[in-house]
Amino acid sequence: MSLQLMTYLVVGATFALYVFIAIKARASTTGEFYVAGKGVHPVLNGMATGADWMSAASFISMAGLIAFKGFDASVYLMGWTGGYCLLAMLLAPYLRKYGKFTVPEFIGDRYYSNTARIVAVICLITASLTYVIGQMKGIGVAFSRFLEVPFATGLLVGMAIVFVYAVLGGMKGITYTQIAQYCVLIFAYTVPAIFISLQLTGNPVPQIGLGSTMADGSGVYLLDKLDQVLVDLGFKAYTIQKGTTINMFLLTLSLMIGTAGLPHVITRFFTVPRVRDARSSAGWALVFIAILYTTAPAVGAMARLNLMNTIQIGEVGSPDGNLKISDVPSWFVNWEKTGLLKHEDKNNDGRIQYYNDKNKEFAAKAEAWGWKGNEMTKVDRDIMVLANPEIANLPNWVIALVAAGGIAAALSTAAGLLLAISSSVSHDLLKGVFVPDMTEKNELLASRISMAGAILVAGYLGLNPPGFAAQVVALAFGLAASSIFPAIMMGIFSKRVNNTGAVLGMLSGLGVTLVYIFWFKGWFFIKGTAMLPNTPDNWLFGISPEAFGAVGALINFVVALVVSNMTKEPPEHIQALIEDIRVPGSFSK
């Protein structure tokens, strides 16, 4: 059976399953639409949370970043998993005990202000929309390869799929769809990793294979081999730190506290029956997440080694050391159709030279060999996980399975994010502020309309994202870190912070972070108008836009605390509410 036919069958079967579940679990009330009726079992909720959490950035892009950044990409592993632990311990149980539908609703009640609620909605939409753009990039990558069409066409198809089952099912349909998607994506991620680990190291456990010797009998460790291949072609060694320590620290911190402030993940803890179930589902989710996150470093390293060995097939600098254009494998041709992989024969020798032509010392050597520059003009990092099984010549059913897994990861998180956006518009703005007497039927209709609008906006912006999927997601985490996380933390653990402090804190944290991102990214409607090139030499104290969320969070905390201490303290009933939320004994209820 051909690869394309196999892919159609596998991906089509998973789509049929998702749509069937969405129809069977269609939400008929606002409680089912927003929080699945608060009746999801903690183990199932943990699985759904894992799917919601492991987005296209985790499945498709994280291993791609690891493949090209090496040691420096460890911040994504540490930040995202550490942040999830922070969320599970510090926020989830308290928010579940409070028992509302959304994060802006908690902030509005805690800070006794519709203004605070509206500002929280603005922060939520800004972070969630940025996040969903990263998912749209992943959806476009997966569908463009699956359908063998340009990236833009693949993105449009993916948008249509998200529209059908996310708008239809609400949280109830999304929850049970995400359970199925978790099973698909984790199976799709681990099976090829096992195959490739066996192929390269003889060890079936990828986590162990990463630190094992090569299966060719040379006795060379896999990471040492990868270091040598890269250094031989003018790249920096895979296992060394390349960025500054302060940027790595702040990026890790930004990802951690951004995780704890992500509304679509927090909302998942409102779907369980009891407060203690929120802690239990958080623990189960961490188990399910760890399966992928401990496999990702091996997938990234092995994908990079396979890619380099495919193009650099002999001794560096020798006439027959590079892949002949006439001999490019089918996977190479297929990915070129998407526009995410490109090459150019700059010296007309009929071969492909793939090296670091920005390394002046190595470029001088390459010129002496007749090389005229790096001929791999585009290798989108987001293709690495999906292309890896094809590069390794794995069976067609494995390649088709990976395509299904990548699509499942992108769709599951996109659906959760879109629900967070729609609920903030319909429940927090319309029902909560502007039209308090809105009927439940009209609120559901408003939720679905706002979700459809969010899909269109995110899809449009996803056509020209400001980076790879994981980088775009990192920006979203920075926005959540600088705006939502401090407001929730102070709302739970400080009785002194009042509405004025919270509002000014959120606005200052979000504003400073957005300005910094726009300064270097020139993004959205002003794309291409960045004030300075996005390079480490121009960053403030070497802090990248992706890492600046931690600085924004600090500003948020400082402004909120200073302003609150200069103004009137919160009313007594609000202080009593905070005390009640933090009573440990009630967590078993």
Residue-wise pLDDT tens digits, 505-533: 999 999 999 889 888 876 544 444 556 67
Cα–Cα distance for residue pair 311/215, rounded to 1 Å: 20
Residue 314 CB-density burial (10 A; 0-12 exposed, 13-18 middle, 19+ buried): exposed
Residue-wise pLDDT tens digits, 309-337: 999 888 888 878 899 999 999 889 888 88
Q: What is the pLDDT of residue 34?
A: 52
CB atoms within 10 A of CB 74: 15
Q: Please give the structure tokens belonging to residue 89.
A: 């311990």
Residues 6 or more apart whose Cβ sits within 8 Å of residue 338: 141, 144, 145, 148, 149, 150, 151, 154, 383
Q: Mind listing the domains of the chain with CATH numbers?
A: 25-303+388-473 (1.20.1730.10)
Residue among 52, 39, 18 nearest 263 (CA): 52
3-state secondary structure 174-225: HHHHHHHHHHHHHHHHHHHHHHHHHHHHCCCCHHHHCCCECCCCCCCEHHHH
The H-assigned helical ranges of 522-568 are 549-566
Tell me the whole-structure pTM to 2 decimals: 0.81
What three-state secondary structure class fits 351? strand
Residues 6 or more apart whose Cβ sits within 8 Å of residue 454: 129, 132, 418, 421, 422
**Rg for the chain (alpha carbons), in Å?**
24
Q: Please give the structure tokens belonging to residue 444.
A: 């559901």
By the 8 A CB rule, do 395 and 199 touch? no
Token pair 């996150």: residue: 293
DSSP string, 277-340: HHHHHHHHHHHHHHHHHTTHHHHHHHHHHHHHHHHB-SSTTSTTSB-BGGG--HHHHHHHHHTS
Residue among 8, 124, 130, 146 nearest 57 (CA): 130
Cα–Cα distance for residue pair 130/117, rounded to 1 Å: 20
Q: Please give the structure tokens belonging to residue 223.
A: 């990471």
- Total residue count of the chain as it appears in this document: 589
Cα angle 312, 392, 221 (rounded to 5 degrees) comes to: 70
Cα angle 560, 564, 570 (rounded to 5 degrees) comes to: 120
Q: What is the pLDDT of residue 171?
A: 59
By the 8 A CB rule, do 509 and 553 touch? yes
Residue among 452, 428, 380, 475 nearest 159 (CA): 452
Regions of the chain where pLDDT drops below 70: 22, 25-39, 99-101, 165-173, 412, 465-471, 522-532, 583-589
Q: Helix, strand, coil: what percent of the chain each, to 5?
A: 75, 0, 25
Cα–Cα distance for residue pair 154/139, rounded to 1 Å: 7
